[in-house]
Amino acid sequence: MRKRSFLIVLVITLAISALGAWWCRSGTFSRWNFSRIRPGMSLEQVEALLGGSGQEIVESHVPGIVDWNERVDSPKRVKAIIAGERFFRWEEDGCYIIVSLKAGVVFEKHYWEPSL
């Protein structure tokens, strides 16, 4: 009986490990691969991680945040959530990743997914 329980646990563990390895593999859009993007990487390296080319977007299409440090009587400015010279966006299932480049390499990154 103990041997059978051990085998069941082993099979379940292997199945979960295989699923995790499949979901975290390079070449797929995932939060895991987003976390692997590092400043200084080339665009080609990011594309290999995320499974293809991102759409180049202009800075005005980068989500922004309100600068609340402005004076009370002045209009609030919205500044881009990430800075850079060029911006690329990958999207899947309502989630998106934006990567900015400066001097031809990754400068900053942003991940967004809808909340439940």
- pLDDT at position 70, please? 61
- pLDDT at position 2, please? 78
In the chain, what are the domains?
27-112 (3.30.1450.10)
- pLDDT at position 25, please? 59
- pLDDT at position 116, please? 76
- pLDDT at position 49, please? 93
- pLDDT at position 71, please? 63
Q: Whole-prediction pTM value?
A: 0.74
Q: What is the mean pLDDT of each run of 10 residues along the chain (116 residues)?
A: 78 72 70 94 96 93 78 68 95 94 97 89
- pLDDT at position 60, please? 87
The Cα-based distances of 22 to 1, 16, 55, 59, 99 in angstroms read 32, 10, 25, 34, 24
